[in-house]
Structure 1
Amino acid sequence: MEETTEQKATPQAVVPTYILDAFIPGYSALHNVILHVLGTDINYLVSSAAILWLFSKVLYSPWETLMDLVEEYFMSSLTIEENNRDLCKIQLAYFAKREAELRIRSINAALNHDPEERTDEEMVSEMGWLNFAFSDANTPMRYSARGIPYRRGYLLYGPPGTGKSSLAYAVAGLFGLEILFLSLMDKNLDEEKLSDLFAALPEKCLVLLEDIDSAGLNRDMDESEDEDSESEDEDDSKSAKKKASKENKNTSKNKGISLSGLLNTIDGVASNEGRVLFMTTNCPEKLDSAFIRPGRIDLQVEFTNATQFHAKEIFERMYARQPIRTNASVSTPEAIIDEKETTSEDRIYGEEIKAMALEFADHIPDGLLSPAEIQGFLLNRRKEPKKALEEVTTWVKGLLESKKKGKKVVGAHSQAWHSAAKHPKAGTTHDHTHASDPSRLVMYVQTFKTPNKEPLSLLPLIEKHTKVTHIILASLHLHDVPGEIRLNDDRLESPVWDDLWHETWLLRQNGVKVMALLGGAAGGTYKRLNGTDAQFYAYYNPLLALIRKYHFDGLDLDVEENVDISTPIRLMTALRRDMGPDFIITMSPLASALTDELGQNLSGFSYFELEKFATMPGSDEKLVSWYNGLFYGPFARGPPVFDACVEAGWDPSRIVMIVLDCADDGQPNGFVHIEDLQETIKNLRALYPGFGGMGGWEYHDAGMSDWDVYQPWLWVKRVGDALFDPLQQALGKGVADELR
């Protein structure tokens, strides 16, 4: 009977102790102590409290939504009499708050940070902005206890259109603050009205003062009077002018705002607290030092023109299909296309938009265009991402040209660029060579390193006017797993190549073609392409995507493994079909292979047969643009081997002579000093004025074995000077030497 009574005294509808222990650390120990000391089982009380808390959390969100709907209905249907100003203010404040909530902008969009890397709150905290929290009720007390005014001031400076005002709107939306805009250029605004406006600010708000450098703020009246007093001894005519000027200034000051008046309003004794002040300027150097001292301006933030990362983000946000929310992600964007205007075939989804964004960004030069300019360009093509991609180069060139000439309106000039892009003049060529000269100057870039394994810049090739026409990055390798493609030892997206992609973009902007070598001494690439159609396309499709992603102008096929002749022909046919007639396809056989009709070379096939049969189906268009023949050792000391190639039936314009530019490039006996090489070039010019050109393997150590060549670019320049010597081209070696 006692056991039964005890069981009835113990509540049964309780949460098990082990569950409570999981949510309340140390609960079991506390429960046992109270039970043994006081004889009270607290399980029932704790369980009841936990269940009530759970129900409140479940019901809170629907209840809050319901109350919001009731409040909105009440405010919308409320009829207010004219004399009931208090109720009118309540209604206006409500709708102002609702409007602010609806116009909240994503701070990600304003800051152009990658939303996949950090949240809005993390970004704000990380950058040190708004480092006091409005949501914490104890914050004002902490500021007061330390004698710090409970307000913050931020100066945002940078070129127009870089997002200064957008950030202010985004911060206001993120923290739920009312934003108040004030123009200091208002002719009717004086110091008294300014003081009244600041005194009437809400307890927590954000004030935005734009373009404060253009507000015409003057020093106080006393300083001006002191300055005027210094000119009292001037002659009568100057005094008259001075007097008139003084009267105009006084009139202006009476109507405007002085610097001291604005400073007193912002942080004077009578200034209110609890507000955030954002000020923007395009010219921070014009601001008075007293205006931007610490205490008034807590943080100065520079805004710059768009980088390629920003351009990519803007493109993705413009064409991504995503819900409207402050932490929107663009990880899987879909193109926004009006269903009424397009069919399902026109839609672009997911990864393709990301690929298009990368390609778009590649056409945007870093630091020259504002985000607003890029956004405006895309807005005019807001339903046509492909059109935006097609026209971006023309638009960028036109805009930069207009800026260079000081034009403020881009109209006919931009259209002229557009017309020229669609209808090129007769006689123009896509190959970067001299107008009447088919020769090329080709440089292979294998390691992109100095002998000390430090990055070596390619920019001197254009800065020093070396006349280089093509660079070939060596080497791309296909690995066993389809899609595993590396440039030497690293994947192309590796950070080790970041500088390379930036510099190749600049090279392309200066007319240099950027190609990639496929294959080389590390075998396996062409064996993997030498299979069934299914096997071929398993490796080819990722290669094609990579070519497009990194905007290669062409591919140099270095077949150093024994494969059937159909392997390179199938690859070249697919490339020409998918990349178009302007895509450059070259091959790099040894010079001896160009005189061997039997195919007894590293490739295992005859280049004579390749030249004969490698044409586009149904036409005579050749698949190979030209051959980068490797003329090592004695082959590079004079034209005899080149003569042998011509005698074997090769067109001189289809052969570029590639030589070793350093004795350390694997064949010490195959190196030719620059003086001998220049003589060879002159002799070839005299014999074959339109021969294919010259090139070097490889850039990073070019000229290291020549005592008077101290930089790789100098080797290239000396070869270029000899190759494109106009006197040598016109007259030939003998006559040119006589004239000299």
Structure 2
Amino acid sequence: MPPLPPSTSPLPRIVTYYQTHHDDAGNPISVLPLITQPGIALTHVILAAIHINEHPDKITLNNHHPSDPRFLTLWAEMRVLQASGIKVLGMLGGAAKGSYQRLDADEDQFERYYGPVRDMLREHGLDGLDLDVEEEMSLGGVVRLIDRLRSDFGPNFIITLAPVAMALLDFTKNLSGFDYEALEVMRGRDIAWYNTQFYCGWGDFSNPLMYDYMIRKGWPPEKIVVGLITNPANGGGFVSWNPLGMVLTTLRGRYSKFGGVMGWEYFNSMPGGTERPWEWAREMTKLLRGHLLTQPAAPPVNAATKPKEESPLKKNEIDPDAPGGKDTQVPAQFEYFTDSSDDEQ
């Protein structure tokens, strides 16, 4: 197995969503190549999609309860990823509406619907939760949810959100109802980053202009993780490799705290497609985190050798898992292959 980056990985992040868990024949789609294949320095996997249904105890991961036997391999692999230094988050919500409407209610109803989600996160030891709000929710409702997660899981629990890109430039153009700028002012310290969707008509990443506008508007670059479509079959706005590489290289050089990229989604990521979906993470590592895999070994130290200064990388290391960033929103409705039915993201 190739050497892995430390768990407290510096920026930029490389994040992949994992919603399609099985192929057409029902066989599990493994994510272990993300740690066994060479040249990959992935930082986070976001497991999708958790849904809150009408009966509070009948939460689902896609279409089945998280304890369903079909997920035995999945949960085992999530533990292996975590043991290898990759943080694993769950994703709550998505295109299937209802989860946040049920949470955005009076205290009694909130407790009934929040409790099973909290218990599932604890049972499986997830490192965080991505709030993918694609329905109307009040600002007070999302603040209450963030406060409760922080209270229940402590300061190291990763809370992200998933706005569409336009929501960070114009509060009227979003799928969530609340104003993300107001949320950042009120609870930015608890939001690790925003998985910002630059696709499906909500953003454009064929050039750096939209990202630059966000930074000029005041968004910290370390809190904007650029959301990308990993395959044209997954939605509109796919950016081919040549222009994508140029834009990422430009922004990586322009902003020392560039937040990173996320891909929707893992199972058919280009350039490898369904046969080799981990190649997307390898290409992103080359562009953004290759230096972590090519650092020279430290020379031997003896009594006559003056200890060398700590490397700049370690001095400037940024822990992307500390509270204070933002999450990204899942795209508008679109058609693509998944092992779940159309009630999902």
Structure 2 residue runs of 5 or longer lacking an equivalent are: 1-5, 293-345
What's the CA shift string for 1:207-249, capped at 9, x where partnerless?
A: xxxxxxxxxxxxxxxxxxxxxxxxxxxxxxxxxxxxxxxxxxx
1:527 aligns with 2:101: yes
Cα distance in 1 for partners of 2:272, 2:68 equals: 36
Residues 529 and 594 of structure 1: is their aligned pair in 2 closer, same or farther, counting only changes over 3 Å?
same
Higher RCO structure, 1 or 2 (CA under 8 Å, sep 6+): 2
CA distance in 1, matches of 2:44, 2:24: 23
Aligned 8 A contact 2:14 2:261 in 1: yes
Q: Partner residue of 1:487? A: 61
2:195 corresponds to 1:628 = yes
1:396-415 CA-to-partner distances (Å, cap 9, x unmatched) read xxxxxxxxxxxxxxxxxxxx
1:612 to 174, 181, 185: 185
Look up the SS of the partner of 1:490 in the other structure: coil
Q: Is 2:295 aligned against 1:720?
A: no
- Asked if structure 2 preserves the Cα contact closer than 8 Å seen for 1:558 and 1:589, the reply is yes
Distance in 1 (alpha carbons) for counterparts of 2:125 and 2:246: 36
Deviation at 1:643, TM superposition (A): 0.3
Tell me if structure 2 keeps the 8 A contact 1:586–1:625.
yes
Q: Aligned AA for 1:645?
A: M
Asked whether the 8 Å contact 1:507–1:513 carries over to 2, the reply is yes
Say whether residues 1:511 and 2:85 are aligned partners.
Answer: yes
In structure 2, the CA distance between the partners of 1:453 and 1:665, relative to structure 1 (3 Å rule), is farther
TM norm structure 1: 0.37
Cα offsets for 1:446-490 (capped at 9, x unmatched) = 111336553211100000141111000111000011121100001
Letter in 2 for 1:639: P
**Distance in 2 between the 1:630 and 1:702 partners?**
16
Is the 2:221–2:259 contact (alpha carbons within 8 Å) kept by the matching residues of 1? yes
Q: What is the aligned residue count?
A: 286
Alpha-carbon contact 1:485-1:491 (below 8 Å) kept? yes
Q: Is 1:448 aligned to residue 28 of structure 2? A: no
SS of equivalent to 2:234: coil
In the alignment, which residue of structure 1 is the partner of 2:215? 646
Contact 2:227 2:261 in 1 (8 A): yes
**Cα RMSD (Å) of the superposition?**
2.1
C-alpha deviation, 1:507, in angstroms: 0.4
Rounded to whole Å, the distance in 1 between the matches of 2:141 and 2:7 is: 29
Q: Retained in 1: the 8 A contact 2:267–2:274? A: no
Pick the aligned partner of 1:657 from 226, 235, 248.
Answer: 226
Q: CA deviation at 1:708?
A: 9.0
Which residue in 1 is equivalent to 2:173?
600
Give the counterpart letter for 1:659 in structure 2: L
Per the alignment, do residues 481 and 665 of structure 1 end up closer, same or farther by CA in structure 2, a change over 3 Å counting? same
Q: 1:579 to 1:518 in 2, by over 3 A?
A: same
Q: What TM-score do you get using the length of structure 2 for normalisation?
A: 0.79
1:520-549 CA deviation, whole Å, 9 max, x = no partner?
A: 000000000011111101111111111100
> Is the CA contact (8 Å cut-off) linking 1:451 and 1:701 kept in structure 2?
no
1:625-678 deviation per Cα after TM superposition (whole angstroms, max 9, x unaligned)? 1111011166121211100110111000011011000011132xx111233322
Name 2:312's counterpart in structure 1. none
Q: What's the offset of the Cα at 1:710?
A: 5.3
Number of the residue aligned with 2:295: none
Give the letter aligned to residue 497 of structure 1.
F
Q: SS where residue 518 of structure 1 aligns?
A: strand
Look up the match of 2:315: none
Q: Does residue 679 of structure 1 match 2:246?
A: yes
Aligned CA distance change for structure 1 residues 625 and 610 (closer, same or farther; 3 Å): same
Preserved contact between residue 526 and residue 563 of structure 1 (Cα < 8 Å): yes
What is the distance in 2 between the residues matched to 1:647 and 1:463? 39
Select which of 443, 464, 470 maps to 2:37: 464
* Partner AA of 2:31 in structure 1: L
Distance 1:521 1:490 in 2: 17
Question: Corresponding residue for 2:318?
Answer: none
Aligned partners of 1:473, 1:599: CA distance in 2, in Å?
29
Unaligned runs of 5+ in 1: 1-430, 616-621, 728-740
Deviation (angstroms), 1:496: 0.7
Aligned counterparts of 1:725 and 1:552: Cα–Cα separation in 2 = 27
Alpha-carbon displacement from aligned partner over 1:353-375 (angstroms, at most 9, x marks no partner): xxxxxxxxxxxxxxxxxxxxxxx
Matching residue of 2:139 = 565
Structure 1 CA distance, aligned partners of 2:138 and 2:274? Answer: 42
For 1:584, the equivalent position in structure 2 comes to 158
1:433/1:439 contact within 8 Å kept: no
Contact 2:166/2:173, CA 8 A, preserved across alignment: no
**More helix by proportion, 1 or 2?**
1
Distance in 1 of aligned mates of 2:194 and 2:174: 15
Write the distance in 1 (CA, Å) between the matches of 2:274 and 2:24: 15
User: What corresponds to 2:265 in structure 1?
Assistant: 698
For 1:440 and 1:504, the matched residues in 2 are separated by 18
State the identity %.
Answer: 39
Q: 1:673 to 1:549 in 2, by over 3 A?
A: same
